[in-house]
């Protein structure tokens, strides 16, 4: 029986990612990426940036948790070779070939500042195209990580071939489930605390392979158990209340800081809020949103594609409005929000109807 709460939680989280990127693109808190804010902090506080503090600690770990649960269910129905072949088409192809077919356009806007400064002067066109493609990775780090974790899972699951560890995890009580947040916090400590600009430290901190591997494996071994899910469902109200309190405390105490630095991410309050929010969202959606309908069904099918293509809308329109118009900030936020929630589905529906592009960008075999 399909778990509609998982489908709904996944696409709702993806929509939150879309909105997050609208806010993030114009942030002035020092978060790397985007095009910058409308004035320096604290003279220009940009209170809308609070969205970053409320979403960033949990929404990507939650997607990896759900991916781990889904992997468990899929591998109960399919052999590992068939499953991994499908994962390669769905994840690795868009995360590599798709860069050169579509996401080079995102890279064009990502490198526009460098181009204006003359850094790309004299660079051959083919080399520029390669730079654009690589720079256009954007949110595709998620599917690249997920493909690598899927490969590791084929090895790890052999250590529990008889499901003894999985069954033991299913007997966890609520307190041990909450205490798994210690692993969540330890994962944040695997980041490079003081990244060196001349190295790949920053790239490692973007991909966070050890940190995101933890919720992925917890999804596979712990949260795929119906008994664990039932415990979260029963405790969703206190979990959500605790998440709300810790989230408000986090915003009040840290607003103005770069909320993506290793030091910030490893702080106890950030880890507490991020972990409890993951648990609360899973419990809440089981209790209240375990159903489907026409719109929910469409979003379940298309949310992956929306995630893949949405940043092209954010980067292109967001850049052009900031650089070439005199629109007030409120207008830019409104226009970009409307655009990302309307043009992204339109772009996805267009690309999925073009045979080779459908495979290269979306990992789909047929429309």
Report the candidate in 264, 147, 144, 155 with the shortest Cα–Cα distance to residue 204. Answer: 144
What is the pLDDT at residue 198?
Answer: 84
Three-state DSSP state, 283: helix
The alpha carbon torsion through 145, 149, 152, 157 (nearest 10 deg) reads: 180
The DSSP code sequence of 209-238 is: HHHHHHHHHHIIIIITSHHHHHHHHHTHHH
For 326-356, the pLDDT digits (tens) are: 999 999 999 999 999 999 999 999 999 999 9
Distance (Å, whole) CA 324 – CA 37: 15
What is the pLDDT at residue 123?
Answer: 79
What is the pLDDT at residue 119?
Answer: 62
Structure tokens of 79?
């052999």
Q: Give the orientation angle of helix 59-75 with respect to helix 141-156, to 10 degrees.
A: 40
The backbone region for 57, taken as left when phi is positive above 0, alpha when psi lies in -120 to 50, beta otherwise, is alpha
Q: How many helices (H) and strands (E) does the chain have?
A: 21, 0
Distance (Å, whole) CA 132 – CA 145: 21
Distance (Å, whole) CA 361 – CA 304: 11
Structure tokens of 122?
């004299």
Spell out, as residue ranges, where the chain has pLDDT lower than 70: 113-119, 367
Contacts from 145-149 at CB under 8 Å and sequence distance 24+?
145/64, 145/207, 145/208, 145/209, 145/212, 146/64, 146/67, 146/87, 146/91, 146/216, 147/87, 147/88, 147/91, 147/92, 147/95, 148/209, 149/64, 149/67, 149/212, 149/213, 149/216, 149/217
| Contact predicate 219/72, CB 8 Å | yes
Q: Is the dihedral of CA 73, 79, 85, 89 positive or negative?
A: negative
| Contact predicate 340/22, CB 8 Å | yes
Report the candidate in 167, 156, 141 with the shortest Cα–Cα distance to residue 64. Answer: 141
CB atoms within 10 A of CB 140: 20
């Amino acid at each position: 029986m399909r778990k509609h709460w998982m489908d709904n939680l996944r696409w709702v989280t993806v929509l939150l990612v879309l909105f997050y990127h609208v806010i993030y693109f114009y942030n002035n808190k020092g978060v790397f990426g985007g095009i910058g804010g409308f004035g320096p902090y604290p003279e220009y506080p940009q209170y809308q940036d609070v969205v970053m503090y409320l979403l960033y600690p949990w929404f990507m770990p939650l997607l990896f948790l759900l991916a781990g649960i889904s992997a468990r269910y899929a591998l109960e129905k399919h052999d590992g070779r068939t499953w991994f072949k499908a994962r390669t088409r769905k994840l690795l192809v868009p995360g590599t070939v798709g860069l050169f077919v579509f996401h080079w356009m995102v890279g064009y806007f990502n490198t526009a500042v460098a181009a204006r400064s003359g850094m790309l002067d004299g660079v051959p066109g083919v080399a520029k195209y390669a730079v654009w493609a690589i720079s256009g990775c954007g949110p595709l780090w998620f599917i690249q990580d997920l493909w690598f974790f899927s490969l590791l899972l084929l090895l790890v699951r052999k250590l529990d071939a008889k499901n003894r560890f999985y069954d033991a995890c299913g007997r966890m009580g609520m307190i041990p489930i909450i205490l798994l947040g210690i692993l969540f916090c330890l994962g944040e400590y695997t980041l490079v605390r003081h990244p060196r600009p001349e190295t790949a430290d920053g790239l490692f901190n973007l991909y966070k392979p050890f940190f995101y591997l933890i919720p992925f494996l917890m999804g596979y071994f712990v949260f795929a158990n119906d008994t664990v899910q039932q415990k979260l469902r029963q405790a969703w109200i206190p979990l959500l209340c605790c998440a709300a309190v810790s989230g408000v405390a986090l915003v009040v105490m840290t607003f103005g800081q770069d909320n993506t630095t290793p030091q910030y991410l490893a702080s106890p309050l950030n880890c507490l809020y991020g972990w409890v929010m993951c648990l609360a969202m899973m419990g809440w959606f089981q209790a209240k949103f375990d159903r489907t309908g026409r719109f929910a069904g469409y979003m379940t099918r298309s949310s992956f594609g929306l995630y893949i293509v949405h940043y092209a809308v954010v980067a292109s329109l967001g850049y052009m409005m900031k650089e070439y118009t005199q629109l007030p900030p409120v207008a830019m936020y409104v226009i970009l929000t409307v655009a990302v929630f309307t043009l992204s589905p339109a772009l996805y529906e267009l690309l999925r109807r073009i045979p080779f592009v459908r495979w290269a960008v979306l990992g789909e075999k047929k429309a």
